[in-house]
């Protein structure tokens, strides 16, 4: 009689085999580079970067969107075939970290190292072929690794690379800079990472302070801040995480948990 662990291993093996069989387009029992997607992606873009994928539905088709080493692309969830690509948001260093954003048939992606952020509109022609058409591209949202939040038609995120940066707010449809902390007289915020919950942005700056921000298209509205104890001297790159009324902040090998549930 099989043990529980053996049954789990056998089930995982069946799932893996089924997935590989789906890629075997010509059913010859072998997987070529074309069948695993190399043909579709091309020689410039065969590897992943650091960005996480998102799943979207467009034109009646499920797809995965990811900012890869040299492009942001959408691939079919059914067979992994490339559906569209948009190269400009990816930087030449192949260090593309931030997760793309999808909204209303549009994809926004951004990276630093001299690149920027761009919005592409997805289209579908009479032959059911998809394409990405650039709507706008801006150097005012070179998001290094902190991520970008879409709220009330505006993008909130840090603009800047290894040399530092600041929080910025851009109009999602046009790319217009609505405001930024570089031009602020007080310079209240430097570059950081974002999370969103209960109508507020939790912003973790690289220097350490954690800031609560009310997202507003017209101006920067800070609603509170604090400094974590036992702060290291390393840049804070770990994103804040919010779950079940708790805020989790990691600093190197230390994890802090804060109760932020409304009383």
How big is the chain by its Cα radius of gyration, in Å?
A: 21
- Please, what sign has the CA dihedral across residues 64, 65, 68, 70? positive
What is the reported pLDDT for 38? 43
C-alpha closest to that of 78 among 122, 123, 22 = 22
Domain termination site, one of 75, 110, 139: 139
**Is residue 178 in a domain?**
no
C-alpha closest to that of 39 among 49, 28, 26 = 26
- Please, what sign has the CA dihedral across residues 67, 73, 77, 78? negative
Residues 3 and 20 in one domain: yes
Residues 65 and 116 in one domain: yes
Residues 27 and 111 in one domain: no
**Is residue 221 in a domain?**
no
* Whether this model's pTM surpasses 0.85: no
Quote the CA–CA distance of 70 and 55 in Å, as a whole number.
20
Residues 5 and 46 in one domain: no
Structure tokens at 222: 């800070």
Q: State pLDDT tens for residues 104-124.
A: 999 999 999 999 999 999 999
**Is residue 116 in a domain?**
yes
Question: Do residues 45 and 73 lie in contact, with contact meaning Cβ atoms separated by under 8 Å?
Answer: yes
What's the angle, vertex CA 109, arms to CA 69 and CA 87, rounded to 5?
A: 50
**Is residue 245 in a domain?**
no
- Number of structural domains found in the chain: 2
**Is residue 71 in a domain?**
yes
Residues 84 and 46 in one domain: yes
Specify the CATH number for the domain of residue 53.
Answer: 2.40.10.480
Residues (pLDDT < 50) of the chain are 16, 33, 35-46
**Is residue 90 in a domain?**
yes
Q: State pLDDT tens for residues 121-169.
A: 999 999 989 999 999 999 999 999 999 999 999 999 999 998 889 999 9
Residues 16 and 92 in one domain: no
What is the reported pLDDT for 43? 44
**Is residue 96 in a domain?**
yes
**Is residue 109 in a domain?**
yes
Residues 82 and 133 in one domain: yes
Domain that holds residue 86: 42-139
Residues 46 and 128 in one domain: yes
What is the reported pLDDT for 240? 96
Residues 28 and 48 in one domain: no
Residue 183 has phi, psi (to 5 degrees) of -90, 0
Structure tokens at 234: 């390393």
Question: Do residues 120 and 133 lie in contact, with contact meaning Cβ atoms separated by under 8 Å?
Answer: yes
Dihedral of the CA atoms 200, 206, 210, 211 (nearest 10)? -50
Query: Quick one: which H or E segment has residue 8?
Result: helix 4-23
């Amino acid at each position: 009689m099989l043990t529980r662990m053996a049954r789990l291993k056998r089930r995982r093996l069946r799932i893996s085999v089924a997935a590989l069989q789906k890629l075997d387009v010509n059913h010859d029992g072998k997987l070529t580079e074309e069948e695993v997607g190399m043909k579709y992606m091309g020689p410039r873009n065969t590897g992943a970067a650091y960005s996480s994928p998102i799943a979207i539905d467009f034109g009646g088709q499920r797809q995965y969107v990811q900012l890869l080493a040299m492009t942001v692309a959408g691939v079919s969830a059914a067979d992994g075939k490339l559906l569209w690509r948009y190269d400009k948001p990816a930087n030449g260093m192949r260090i593309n970290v931030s997760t793309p954003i999808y909204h209303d048939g549009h994809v926004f992606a951004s990276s630093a190292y001299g690149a920027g952020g761009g919005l592409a509109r997805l289209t579908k022609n009479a032959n059911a072929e998809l394409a990405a058409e650039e709507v706008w591209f801006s150097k005012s949202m070179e998001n290094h690794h902190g991520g970008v939040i879409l709220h009330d038609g505006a993008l909130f995120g840090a603009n800047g690379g290894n040399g530092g940066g600041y929080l910025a707010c851009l109009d999602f449809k046009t790319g217009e800079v609505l405001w930024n902390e570089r031009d602020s007289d007080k310079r209240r915020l430097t570059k950081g990472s974002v999370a969103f919950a209960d109508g507020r942005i939790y912003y973790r700056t690289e220097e350490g302070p954690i800031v609560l921000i009310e997202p507003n298209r017209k101006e920067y509205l800070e609603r509170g801040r604090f400094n974590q104890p036992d702060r290291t001297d390393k840049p804070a790159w770990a994103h804040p995480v919010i779950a079940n009324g708790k805020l989790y902040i990691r600093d190197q090998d230390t994890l802090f948990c804060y109760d932020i549930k409304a009383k």
